[in-house]
Structures are given as structure tokens and as C-alpha cells.
Amino acid sequence: MSQTIIFPTVGRVVWFRPNGAPERLVTYDEDQPFAAIVTHVRSDRLVHVAVFGHDGAVHILGMAIQLLQADDPEPAAPQPY
């Protein structure tokens, strides 16, 4: 079954999973993703985001984040862009 492709737009709410970084995000539940808002779109697969820790604090990561679709495998390690 094919999944709907999510095209990034500024202001879109997405899930963020840190995949090992950054440690400054407050986590209450390791299985729960963080809420994030797309702040800049570099391509259909690379975005900049503002991430909300589980405590509600906002974090600007300062790097492009890979936007995964439902069927994409999770990267083995964080990828700097």
C-alpha cells in the first residue's frame, strides 16, 4: 500500500526524532517523538525546524534535517548537512 507523500512547507508541524542528538532536548518518554515546526525548506527532503522539547521549550537546531516519509528507513546515525 502506498503512503501519501508529505511535502514540506514553512509552518507545517512534523515529528522530530533526534536519533542520538541533541542531548539538550528534555525527554519524558523515549518512545514519543518531539513536535517540530518547519522554518525553512531546502528541498523536499531537507528542512530546518524549531523543535519543542517534551517540557515545551523551543530549540533551534541550526542544521538541515532529513525529512523522512512513512516507508523510509531510519538513518543509522545523525547526518550533518
Angle at Cα 80 formed by Cα 17 and Cα 32, nearest 5°? 5
Which pLDDT does position 21 carry in this prediction?
Answer: 57
pLDDT in tens, 1-40: 457 888 999 999 999 988 765 677 888 888 889 999 999 9
Task: Give the number of domains in the chain.
Answer: 1
Classify residue 78: in a domain, yes or no.
no
Q: What mean pLDDT, rounded, does the chain reach?
A: 83
Classify residue 5: in a domain, yes or no.
no
Rg of the chain over Cα atoms, rounded to whole angstroms, equals: 12
Q: Which percentage of the chain shows pLDDT scores above 70?
A: 84
Angle at Cα 77 formed by Cα 10 and Cα 66, nearest 5°? 15
Range of the domain at 60: 13-66
C-alpha cell at 78: 545523525
How far apart, in whole angstroms, are the C-alpha atoms of residue 16 and residue 36?
6
